[in-house]
Structure 1
Amino acid sequence: MLTASSMLKPFALATLLLAGTLPATAQNAPTKVKIKTKTKGAAATPTTPDLSQTYAALIEPAGLRAHLTVVASDAFQGREAGQPGQKLAAKYLVKQFAEIGLQGPVTGSDNPYLQHFQLARSIYAPGGYLKVGGQRYDYLSDWFSYGPMPSPFLTETASQPVFAGFGVEQGAYSDYVGLDVKGRDVVVIMGEPQDERGRKLLKPLGRKADYWDSGLRKAALAKAHGARSIFLMTFAPADAFRKQTAQLGESLREPAFSLPDPGPEIVDTVAENIPPGIGVYYTSQDMGLALAGTTMNGLIDYVRALSRAGRPVPAGFQAPTAAIFLPQTQQPLTTENVLGFLEGSDKKDEVLVVSAHYDHLGVKHDTIYNGADDDGSGTVGVLALAKAFAQAKKDGHGPRRSILFVLMTAEEEGLFGSEYYTAHPVLPLASTIADLNIDMVGRTDRKHSAKKHFVCIVGSDKLSSELHSINEAANRDYTHLELDYHFNVPGEPEHIYYRSDHYNFARRKIPVIFYTTGEHADYHRATDDVEKIEFDKLAERAQLVFHTAWALANREQRIVVDSNKP
């Protein structure tokens, strides 16, 4: 699963830096989490064999263990995207798909099971700075960036920043009215505009009361207006900002990845990840004020005037010219998704996608991160599902709809494998009925007792009520697991819905279910090893995915898209 540190630390840091510095606002009322526990009941005796039960039973702990012992071995060196271990893993997975009897659906590739694409790997070099008003602000001291983005400032670059208030736009309220920011660098205040009584001026969007507290949503909006970069001004004085930056330490120096060919742009109104093609930088209060061309008193006067007016007002100050230098070394990498195709019968032109990501974190400081649960568990689960469906077809009981099994790469770097696939699909997205995505299903998280047989369900009701009902029926009739929806509630703080490959299908309006068991003590640690996997529970969870996939692939009507929950 995509780490929260690579996607969400900007939120956490911004929240930390803003704490106690802005007027208090009402907190969201707590959401009651509903966990559905399915009781085991006897199904009606069928007059003919229950084929879903028959072939789900082929998914066994021993087979899962045999594959995972290979996939999560030291020989694959942590399967980091673009590295030799990932190539070895891809070769192994291709061999399994071919032996199962799946077709390779990729045209124009040297291997029809492999969808190759390019990544750019960028590492920040020492010496970055920003000069404004005769003052130098050093990178990783007074400002920092997060996420997979090439630097737009590889040489010292002249800038004429534009101050855009809080950097928000909703309905008639827009901080960008009258501003030309195309190709320029935008400076905005973290947080949201408030009235004189400290209440937010903008109504919550959907169910997200804190929608514009997100610096990354502000970045996505700035990008939509054509900005080159955005500087997000926190309210942390220089010393406090430097202390917090130091605590983040090496994570700010890790390589950043980007997708040079992301495909057609998708307008994403609930984006939680860093938008490509724009620099996103967090600044100390001191540097932010200097970039905006004002003082703290001047900024307070601006915010008070805005609060009284209830709408954007002229700032009364002018951002001065600046010079920015942010060097990087950039390396192109080739990586690949692994795809296996099982053709359907009378409804073969409609496609169900079953996915997991097979990459992990690679080798760090001479230590191999094997990623047995993340996401070796999902990877071998997909192999088991593919084998069961392929056997059903060999026995004359193949699915009516086609099924595409996709093992994604570069999920850990930013969901890039699924981003590339959904932008360059080998089968039309218009014909894709759903994505069932499996990521981390081999362990018990901190929330549950080791005796619990459970799985967390995420996203099942966000686009299709039928998909949600089908999954619940499959569990009720067959697997009898506790279905835990605590990651699926509005305002869920871990943002799990946005952190695995299903999301790139969902943002293209394809219904999804994300199956996971959440984080545990070994999440993104070198100790995520095979011996800690609970293979009996992994088999049960994979069987639930199988039963849901069986129903989706064989029902008479394609599931409806009848919802749009944020």
Structure 2
Amino acid sequence: MRRLVLSLAALTAAPALAQSGAPAISVDTLKDVTKTLSSDAFEGRAPTTPAEDKTVAYIVERMKAAGLKPGNGGSWFQDVPMVQMTAENITPMTFTGGKAPVSLAYRDDMVVSTYRVTPKVDIRNSDVVFVGYGINAPEKGWNDYAGVNVKGKTVVVLVNDPDWQTPTNQGLFEGKAMTYYGRWTYKYEEAAREGAAAVIIVHDTDPAAYGWGVVRSSWSGAQLELDEKGDHLDQSQAIGWMQLAKAKQVFASAGKDFDQLQTAAKVKGFKAVPLGVKFSVGFTNNIKRQASKNVIGILPGTEKPDETVIYSAHWDHLGHCTPVKGDDICNGALDNASGSAGLIALAEAQAKAGPAKRTMVFLSVTAEESGLLGSKYYAGHPIFPLAKTVGGVNMDGLNVIGPAKDFVVTGYGKSELEDLMKPLVEAQGRVMKPEPNPERGGYFRSDHFSFAKLGVPMFDGGSGEDLVDGGVAKGHAATLDYIENRYHKPQDEYDPNWNWMGAVQDLTLYYQLGRQLADTPAWPNWYKTAEFRAIRDRSRAGAGAGQ
């Protein structure tokens, strides 16, 4: 889940808001679907488990009832080939050769995994190099790997960008707004390109934007990756995280000052620092290859059925996870049973309004929590060509605390979809704003990013923190409560006292934007300054478009 949305029991649920040009969004549907998918009977909806079969069957049942048709040549499903790897027999991470050996215990101090489909990982006495933020960005004149050879070595990396503490969005790496260079996925990708044997990210709650509990839950147990040719053997042997306090111990043992080097890493021209210690870790992998499923329902277009508008939401969550007070099911009520409920509610509303000129696609994707795998696979193997995909809306968590005065856009300033959405937001008496916490990297943390990377504008936005009842103070407190106490934990459970009025407002906007895209000849593009503009232009030119 990318946008840490408001989540706290609040007012009693209110009736659906009717709005000009949009049928009412069913609150009953929102409640029923969220409650069902997040019940213990669905065991946290982990892909490739028996709970998946139950989950996708329920989604198909609701899509049929809403009036959708199967979206993949008569089938409701797109198989997504996956490989599941469960690390077992994990030895502690050890750093030796310094003043004193430092040992890190699995889960408490570190987590470790691999992208490689291999039965065993055994790294012994690998040289350790601190590479700062682990960024190689030629266009910015920044290369943390310059002048150092890390092939076969272990790199220790800081999370986020060098300028993440900047109070504004101005800076080489967009100030406090995280760029893709700040995401942990990028750190591993770049280290692999540099030939590193292992990559360990130092966890720090503020720049990571979530606590250690989130890392532990997400990285414990079975891990999924797309099952692709080559078994990902071009990736590093081991990837993982370690607690900040343990990182400081490692640096102290190496005779280095962690805080001093962390500060130095923020400055252009930083040079990687060999620590003079050796890294070891080992584990075996229980490997299981099987397909998961994306669910696809459509409302066929009447005039241009080959042109499509997409609504997307991920159905998966973490399944069984680290127990809290004896509860080991991460139910994922907000993340993302609520978004799945929104997808069904929109399908009902659009079907009730009748078919549009273009085809509407309702895409329920798998394995978002494992790295956007379902949407990544669809974008790479689209049922409907991306060159003829107009755009759409992604939903990852709905507002369940009540109406908000503001509407925040993730990745604000990137696409012309914002120009279409702004008057709709203003018609609700609300103000459209950039996301208040761009340092959390929300733009790269949900399924719209899989489409954006391949040029398709997908809108991602929702209620902000300025609540009608309680203002920013109450809204921000709710956000923090969710991040600290519920996000990726068993406490993300359905609450019958949630207030769905804010969700209905947002879904009404999604309805209107989707209907506008599907009923007009518009082809919204990225703004000229957006990093995805060039690929969209090439894609549209290849499709014979005039723009």
With the length of structure 2 as denominator, give the TM-score of the two structures. Answer: 0.70
**Cα 1:69/1:191, change in 2 over 3 Å:** closer
What is the distance in 2 between the residues matched to 1:255 and 1:80?
11
- Aligned-pair CA distance for 1:351: 1.6
| 2:186 is equivalent to residue 186 of structure 1 | no
Corresponding letter in the other structure for 1:426: I
Corresponding letter in the other structure for 2:304: K
- Counterpart in the other structure of 1:562: 527
**Cα 1:263/1:481, change in 2 over 3 Å:** farther
- Counterpart in the other structure of 1:139: 104
Query: Size of the alignment, in residue pairs?
Result: 470
- Counterpart in the other structure of 1:468: 418
- Counterpart in the other structure of 2:467: none
- Counterpart in the other structure of 1:279: 239
The structure 2 residue matched to 1:77, chosen from 28, 43, 63, is: 43
Identity across the alignment (%): 23
Corresponding letter in the other structure for 1:338: V
**Cα 1:190/1:151, change in 2 over 3 Å:** farther
CA contact (8 A) 1:113 1:339 kept: yes
CA contact (8 A) 2:45 2:52 kept: yes
Segments of 5+ residues of structure 1 without an aligned counterpart are 5-49, 195-201, 236-244, 265-274, 445-449
CA contact (8 A) 1:102 1:341 kept: yes
Coordinate RMSD, CA, aligned? 4.5
Deviations 1:9-39 (A, max 9, x none): xxxxxxxxxxxxxxxxxxxxxxxxxxxxxxx
What is the distance in 1 between the residues matched to 2:286 and 2:109?
19
- Aligned-pair CA distance for 1:392: 3.4
CA contact (8 A) 2:145 2:272 kept: no
| 2:256 is equivalent to residue 296 of structure 1 | yes
SS in 2 for 1:259: strand
Corresponding letter in the other structure for 2:433: Y
What is the distance in 1 between the residues matched to 2:162 and 2:356?
53
CA contact (8 A) 2:314 2:447 kept: yes
| 2:433 is equivalent to residue 485 of structure 1 | yes
CA contact (8 A) 1:263 1:423 kept: no
CA contact (8 A) 2:198 2:236 kept: no
The structure 2 residue matched to 1:261, chosen from 215, 218, 227, is: 227
CA contact (8 A) 2:60 2:76 kept: no
The structure 2 residue matched to 1:420, chosen from 377, 394, 403, is: 377
| 2:423 is equivalent to residue 457 of structure 1 | no
The structure 2 residue matched to 1:532, chosen from 497, 511, 522, is: 497
The structure 2 residue matched to 1:169, chosen from 136, 140, 154, is: 136
Segments of 5+ residues of structure 2 without an aligned counterpart are 5-17, 164-169, 205-210, 465-478, 532-547
Name the structure where strand makes up a greater proportion of residues: 2
- Counterpart in the other structure of 2:455: 509
Mapping 1:190-229, distance limit 5 Å:
204-208=172-176, 217-229=186-198
**Greater Cα shift, 380-389 or 67-76:** 67-76
**Cα 1:431/1:517, change in 2 over 3 Å:** same
- Aligned-pair CA distance for 1:438: 1.6
CA contact (8 A) 2:176 2:439 kept: no
CA contact (8 A) 2:93 2:279 kept: no
Mapping 1:382-393, distance limit 5 Å:
382-393=343-354
The structure 2 residue matched to 1:94, chosen from 36, 55, 60, is: 60
| 2:309 is equivalent to residue 352 of structure 1 | yes
Rg bigger for which structure? 1
CA contact (8 A) 2:94 2:101 kept: yes
**Cα 1:177/1:340, change in 2 over 3 Å:** same
Corresponding letter in the other structure for 1:128: P
- Counterpart in the other structure of 1:495: 441
What is the distance in 2 between the residues matched to 1:376 and 1:473?
29
- Aligned-pair CA distance for 1:386: 1.6
Corresponding letter in the other structure for 1:510: V
What is the distance in 2 between the residues matched to 1:498 and 1:302?
24
- Aligned-pair CA distance for 1:368: 4.7
| 2:92 is equivalent to residue 128 of structure 1 | yes
Corresponding letter in the other structure for 1:377: S
SS in 2 for 1:546: helix
**Cα 1:367/1:298, change in 2 over 3 Å:** closer
- Aligned-pair CA distance for 1:87: 1.7
SS in 2 for 1:78: coil
SS in 1 for 2:70: coil
What is the distance in 2 between the residues matched to 1:560 and 1:261?
32
| 2:343 is equivalent to residue 377 of structure 1 | no
What is the distance in 1 between the residues matched to 2:305 and 2:213?
53
- Aligned-pair CA distance for 1:424: 2.4
**Cα 1:406/1:297, change in 2 over 3 Å:** closer
SS in 2 for 1:425: coil
Deviations 1:423-478 (A, max 9, x none): 3222222222223012222411xxxxx5x34564323644313x11211222334x
